[in-house]
Amino acid sequence: MNDGSTSELSACPEAARPVLARYLAGEISAEVAIMQLLLALGGMAPLTDCLTAIAATAPDEPAVGVLQQVMIEHPAALAGAVALVESGLARERAGNIAAIRQQFDDAVAIAPEAAVALYSLGSPATLDRATAELVSRLDEWGLLGPDIIALDIGCGIGRLETALASRLRAITGVDLSPGMIEEARRRCAGLVNVDVAVCDGTGLAAFAGRDYDLILAVDAFPYLVAADSALAERHVADAARLLPAGGALVILNYSYRGDLDADRNAVADLASRYGFTVLRNGTRDFTLWDGATFLLCKEERLSARRRRE
C-alpha cells in the first residue's frame, strides 16, 4: 500500500479522505475502513461512488480492489450494516441510559452482528474472525483458564459467551438492551456455565458479594462515556470491589472521541484512584479491528484495605 498521500484521494469527498489515507497506509483493515467510510459518508450510495471514483483514478492500487471485494462478499449482511448507518443507529448517543437501551433494541432487531460490531459489516463469519482474535489475545495475556469466573459488560448477542464458555469456569454477560439479551439467550442455549441478564447500565452494584477474576467490557465504555463520564467511573469503581488482587479489568475502547491520549489519561487516572495497575494503556493489538486495549490489574494493597474494612 502507498502512504495515502497520492492524488487519488481527491477523487473522493473530503470526509472520506482521512479514512482512506489510514487504510492505504496500512493502519486499519478493509472492514474497519468500510465501516468508517459508511459513517463518514452516511450511506451506501456515496460510498459506492467514492470507491468507483478512486478505483478509476488509481486502477493499479490493489488495496482499493480489496475494499471493493469485501463489499461484494456478503451483500445481504452489508445491507443490514448500511441500514444501521442510514437510520442513525450506528453512532453512540449522548444522553441517558434509556436512549442507549432503545438504540440497541432497535439495532439488534435489524442486524444482530452489525449491532454489536459494525466493523463486521453484518457478516457472522467476519464477526467470528474478530471474536477469535480477541479470545486469542486474552489467552496470550494469561487471562483465561478453567478456574476463571468472568463478567462481560455489554455482552450484546453473547458472542464472547459462546466463544469463552469452554475456556472458563463460568461467564456472566450483562447488557442494558432486552433485545440483545433475548438474542444472547438464544445463542447461548445449552451452555451450562453461561448466564446472561439485563442490567440497568448504571453500574455493577447488583453483583455485590460475588467474586470475579476477569471483567470484560468490549465497546461498552464508549456509550457510558458518551452518556455520562460518571457512569464509566462507577463501573471502574464497582469492578475494583468485585475483583480480587491480581484480577483483571479489560476495557476494549474507552471512548469514540478520537483522542487516544485523552483516553489513556482518563483510564490512568481511574486506575490510580481505584487501585489498578495499568498493564496496557491504549495499545492496538488487533488486525481486523482497530480497538484500543486498556488492561488493568487489581493491586494487592486495595484488596488488603477491603479486608480490614
pLDDT score recorded for residue 267? 98
pLDDT score recorded for residue 305? 41
Element (H, E) at 195: strand 194-198
Listed as ranges, residues in the chain with pLDDT below 50 are: 1-5, 302-309
> Which three cell numbers, joined as nine digits, stand for 176?
442494558
Residue spans of the domains in the chain: they are: 7-73, 125-308
Torsion of CA 219, 225, 230, 231, to 10 degrees: -40
Q: What does the buried/exposed string (b/e) look like for 127-155 if buried means 16 or more CB atoms within 10 Å of the residue's CB?
A: bebbbeebbebbeeeebbeeebbbbbbbb
> What's the angle, vertex CA 112, arms to CA 217 and CA 81, rounded to 5?
105
Fold classified for 125-308: Rossmann fold (3.40.50)
Global pTM reads: 0.91
Query: pLDDT tens across 130-183, in order?
Result: 999 999 999 999 999 999 999 999 999 999 999 999 999 999 999 999 999 999
pLDDT score recorded for residue 7? 60
